[in-house]
Amino acid sequence: MKSNPKPDIAVTGPNTGGTTAWLFTALSVKLAGGKAVRVTPEKFDGKLDYDGIIIGGGSNIHPDNFEQEDAPEVERSLFLRFKENLFYPMEFFTGWSKPVYDKDRDEMEMQFIDYALVNKKPILGICRGHQLLNASLGGTMYESTLPLLKNKMRIRSPFARKTVIYTQDDSLIAEIAGDDPIEVNAIHSQAVGKPADDLEVTAKEEAGITQVLEKKGSDVVLGVQWHPEYLFYLTVHRNIFKWLVNKAAKTA
């Protein structure tokens, strides 16, 4: 029997960077009653049997690890791009950088996803983790969100600036977060295309970007496109971590 009654929650991340996301995720897990354990490719020793798993956000998924969804090129005006950069400075700074990939992290996280699904361990995919969950099960990905947004501004902010609408009345996310639409943030360039056969889309945003994925017939698999760890001051987002920790406690 474990001397520490708190369930151990693996939180995956990169070898370098990612400290801010880790700190906020660890805080969210702690507030929910769990113990966060940081796992990076360099520190990964093959241990997979944590009580719960969070596949964190971060760099783009490498193209070798997903099937790309076809999308038309979109002409976007200079005025639209100016507005994006003006209202969302994170978009400005991201625009100066090239996509960053981390194949070692992809491979490690896919092992965690496989383990969680086979052993029915609770797993939460956040942003990149939400996308990798879909890609690892055979779903497709959009390399960019722009074909979906078309002439809408791309929002890139850690604060709640988007509204997520449920696409099903009876869903795990509605059970966790309540019946009202969820206000969320956005810090991503890629997006889910077609969902994998074992997954279903239970929430989207107005532009059509998939915001929530759940495993059919399961209440321990959830993927969210936003970063709930940065919104810990809102009850609805803390409830996502409470769900994970409570499920992990039952399987510990």
- Give residue-wise pLDDT tens across range 51-68: 999 999 999 999 999 999
Cα 89–chain centre separation: 22
Question: What integer best gives the mean pLDDT of the chain?
Answer: 93
The predicted structure's pLDDT at residue 3: 52
Q: Which residues lie closer than 8 Å to 103 by C-beta, 6 or more apart?
A: 62, 64, 65
CATH architecture of 8-251: 3-Layer(aba) Sandwich (3.40)
Q: List the alpha helices (DSSP H) in the chain.
A: 19-31, 78-87, 89-95, 103-119, 128-136, 146-149, 172-177, 235-251
CB-hemisphere CA count at 13 Å for 7? 27
| Mean pLDDT within 144-164 | 92
- What pTM was computed for the model? 0.94
The predicted structure's pLDDT at residue 1: 45
Residue with tokens 């093959």: 46
DSSP bridge partners of 10: 37, 53
The predicted structure's pLDDT at residue 251: 83
Q: Higher model confidence: residue 89 or residue 228?
A: 228
